[in-house]
Amino acid sequence: MSAKRLLTSPYLRRPALSRRRFLQGSAAVLTGLAAANCRQNLAGPPAGSGGGDGTLHIYTWANYTDDSLTAAFTELTGIPVVVDIFDSNEIMLTRLQAGGGDAYSLIYPSDYMVSEMIDLGLLSELDQSRITGLDNLKAQWQNPAYDPNNAHSVPFCWGTTGLLFNRDVTPGEPADWNFLWENQDALSRRITMLDDMRETLGATLKSLGYSYNSSDPNEIQAAYNRLLELRPHIAAFKTTGFENELLGGDLSVSMAYSSDAIALTLEDDRIEYIIPASGASLWTDTLAIPATAPNVDAAYQWINFMLDPEVASAAVGRLFFATANQAAFEQLPAEIQRNEDLYPPEAVLAKSEGIVAVDTASTDLFDQLWTEVTSA
């Protein structure tokens, strides 16, 4: 039985259960053995030969794995998987700097964080002779600026950051970031913003006509002042955990990553996602191996597993992220390929920008002002 059959999904049919319940129960679809070609791609040293207890410990964003995915990997390799979740790149970085690199063999840093972690010596340089499928990547991810030649990371998925809203309880339809400030009284305490320094301050910079990646202290200070103006009306800074409140109408608008947003739009017709007209964050999340990873062999096997086009295309249909794998994209049903929330048109992408690492002084200023605004 093929890996795709094991990981088959309803694609864009609206799920009858909540996404959370769907993910919890999805391991039940795992039956039989995986395809011989996928097993061959994952062949390697015994699971325990990389150190530790033989288990693959992964540190990732919410909703990038599910029970079906990890069970299929264990079926193929015999390697148990334990997944821990982080809410922001900065939380992940802090954990690794505090010794987490000894606990995890595979992490999912975003593009700009890859650059920072390379400079800090926290990532292993990849042995690309051990990786199968790098040639399947879309052209723009063959040699990304944040990690030339993918020397330390493998692009996993990409997407946008925008506004997710409940039409029943939102005064009008958001078109741009300015909607939050223009309607702050009507939306008061019914807004959530991402618990992510660069994303939320970046969106505020964008609302002022500046770049997400500004290193001008005056522009960064202006964004802080504007976000501080909105702060009394923000219910919480949340990367996940806003979904039930938005569905229930307790929240009107949530800043969200497209992968999380699309899942909710499929669950309820009242929920819509928009990419702000002035532009949004265009992010890439990657697979990387910490410099002190305890089970490097298992990490390479996971990377090869996720690069397999059948595995990647099936995961897209269940987990709602845009794949950086061209071979996987070509296997997707036409309705997914045409989904503009998932794969925005070029005109939208042209106004968006990837978040990149900024100089140390700007990073320190971002850190200081973010701490002030979130503790206000």
**What does the pLDDT read at residue 319?**
77
Share of the chain above pLDDT 70, in %: 86
Give the pLDDT confidence of 233-256 residue by residue, as tens digits: 999 999 989 999 999 999 999 999
Please tell me the distance from the alpha carbon of residue 336 to that of residue 81, in angstroms, as a whole number.
Answer: 29
CATH 3.40.50.2300 holds for 159-282+345-375:
no
More confident residue, 314 or 177: 177
Give the pLDDT confidence of 47-72 residue by residue, as tens digits: 333 445 699 999 999 888 989 899 99
Pair 348, 278: CB distance under 8 Å: no
Average pLDDT taken over every residue of the chain? 86
**What does the pLDDT read at residue 44?**
43
**What does the pLDDT read at residue 320?**
76
Give the pLDDT confidence of 80-114 residue by residue, as tens digits: 999 999 989 999 999 999 987 899 999 999 999 99
Please tell me the distance from the alpha carbon of residue 180 to that of residue 164, in angstroms, as a whole number.
Answer: 12
Q: What pTM was estimated for this model as a whole?
A: 0.79
Please tell me the distance from the alpha carbon of residue 9 to that of residue 137, in angstroms, as a whole number.
Answer: 22
**What does the pLDDT read at residue 349?**
85
Give 132's contacts (C-beta < 8 A, 6+ positions apart): 41, 304, 307
Pair 145, 356: CB distance under 8 Å: yes
Q: Would you place residue 45 in the very low, low, confident or very high pLDDT band (cuts 50, 70, 90)?
A: very low
Give the pLDDT confidence of 182-211 residue by residue, as tens digits: 999 999 999 999 999 999 999 999 999 999
Pair 326, 337: CB distance under 8 Å: no
**What does the pLDDT read at residue 14?**
30
Fold classification of 3-153+288-337 is: D-Maltodextrin-Binding Protein; domain 2 (3.40.190)
For the record, the structure tokens of 174 come out as: 């958001």
Please tell me the distance from the alpha carbon of residue 222 to that of residue 220, in angstroms, as a whole number.
Answer: 5
Domains 3-153+288-337 and 159-282+345-375 share a fold: yes
CA distances (Å), 114 to each of 106, 122, 146, 290, 318, in order?
13, 9, 7, 11, 26
**What does the pLDDT read at residue 75?**
95
Pair 35, 1: CB distance under 8 Å: yes
Q: Is the pLDDT of residue 374 over 50?
A: yes
Pair 50, 298: CB distance under 8 Å: yes
Domain ranges of the chain: 3-153+288-337, 159-282+345-375
Q: Is 51 left (phi over 0), alpha (psi -120 to 50) or beta?
A: left
Give the pLDDT confidence of 114-158 residue by residue, as tens digits: 999 999 999 999 999 999 999 999 998 999 989 999 999 999 999
Please tell me the distance from the alpha carbon of residue 144 to that of residue 138, in angstroms, as a whole number.
Answer: 11
